[in-house]
Structure 1
């Protein structure tokens, strides 16, 4: 297997006295599609933030070989700037060094890929939740990142919007490394090549997706998959 893009060894993260990650150890390689699953508070979001350099760790070793400019992270509720849909994408490109006119053209093309070109002039904050997630994907897509980090990207969407955004994620992940947190086990089966199960900040299972859903699991992971663990 190729050299790891991210490597964590016995990482601990605390928020005050509350442990968020405990002895977390795993590596992520180029081209993998890694799903992070577990109950609320299990450490999924914190792990994504560690990968993206947003949260410091109290102990352990973290090595990331992917510069921040080559990463894009989407949050469950993406932040929309108080400007047009097109400019929300164009500004990100401009900040990455593109000339403004070129950034506008590339932004329009990115909006076309997610079906928002007709809304390019609208204030981004007036979009629906599903439309905002599509806009966030377009913004990330336009930057051509090597790694996509997604935190519950379809959690608050209606079923139609979930299907639309999931299809776009699958398309955006082509040729890239994808790490995403999700409670939707069907979505995990469709999008992931590998599943990492977290429980109270600890990595309890790390398996290829088929082995995770068809093979033996630690008791906590088995109960979670069966829906018996909140």
Structure 2
């Protein structure tokens, strides 16, 4: 269970939310409403007050790198810091992720490609795969399909749904009402940095 209690900073919050394994909550609202800031606070990437816990373990009791492996944030434009795709994945991940890679319409040889060769859509699909490679308990998705064609969107949604069926908790920022309807079991509307 992911519990968020009185999570706030500056003009954002307070937010309260509890999500069980397999639940997906869409965080909706206009651009600039504070949706991404909310996800970043949950991931402990932005300073905040309040309490966030996973299965009864408080975020404050867990080293930040370990928390971020359990509660993984995927930015709308993910960063790439090494020359090749493979350098961004743990050892053995390409084999473990083969079915999800196929669903994302990426060829097996993609792990050997230089990052500079990737299209925007390939980078976005690989960033989702990279986030899943660490087997997070919670996945925080900020516009995860914004740059994708319809077939790739379907593949990404199928991968997310498959992980949810296995117990992954998802918080999803999306401006696509149809996607929200397909993926989310709940909604959290945000306006002016606060729950609406």
Q: How many angstroms does 1:199 deviate by?
A: 0.9
What's the counterpart of residue 181 of structure 1?
A: 173
Equivalenced residues, count:
180
Of the three residues 103, 120, 123, the one matched with 2:111 is: 120
TM-score (norm 2): 0.81
Structure 1 window deviating more from structure 2 (108-117 vs 191-200): it is: 108-117
Report the 3-state secondary structure (helix = DSSP H, G, I; strand = E; otherwise coil) of the residue aligned with 1:41.
coil
Q: What is the rounded CA distance, in whole Å, between the counterparts of 1:123 and 1:43 in structure 2? A: 34
Question: Which of the pair has the greater relative contact order for Cα pairs under 8 Å at 6+ separation?
Answer: 2
How do residues 39-118 of structure 1 correspond to structure 2 at under 5 angstroms?
39-57=30-48, 59=49, 61-65=50-54, 67-90=67-90, 103=91, 105-111=92-98, 113-115=100-102, 116=106, 117-118=108-109
Equivalent position to 1:7, from 4, 7, 17: 4
CA shift for structure 1 position 130? 1.7
Q: Radius of gyration: which is bigger?
A: 1
**Aligned residue for 2:60?**
none
Contact 1:149 1:179 in 2 (8 A): yes
2:159 to 160, 168, 171: 168
Rounded to whole Å, the distance in 1 between the matches of 2:8 and 2:168 is: 28
1:132 Cα shift? 1.1
- Deviation above 6 Å: which 4+ runs of structure 1? none
Secondary structure in structure 1 of the residue aligned to 2:170: strand
CA distance in 2, matches of 1:143, 1:8: 26
Structure 1 residues not aligned, in runs of 5+: 91-102, 205-230
- Report the aligned-residue RMSD: 2.0
Q: 1:173 to 1:128 in 2, by over 3 A?
A: farther
**Contact 2:128/2:144, CA 8 A, preserved across alignment:** no
Q: Is the 8 A contact 2:35 2:190 kept in 1?
A: yes
Cα deviation 1:115-151 (Å, max 9, x = unaligned) = 3312221112321122112211221222111111101
Measured after TM superposition, the shift of residue 112 of structure 1 is 5.2
Q: How many Å separate the matches in 2 of 1:108 and 1:81?
A: 22
Distance between the aligned counterparts of 1:130 and 1:111, measured in 2?
Answer: 18
1:137-191 per-position Cα deviation (integer Å, ceiling 9, x unaligned): 2212221111111011112333343333223222233321111111011000000
Unaligned runs of 5+ in 2: 58-66
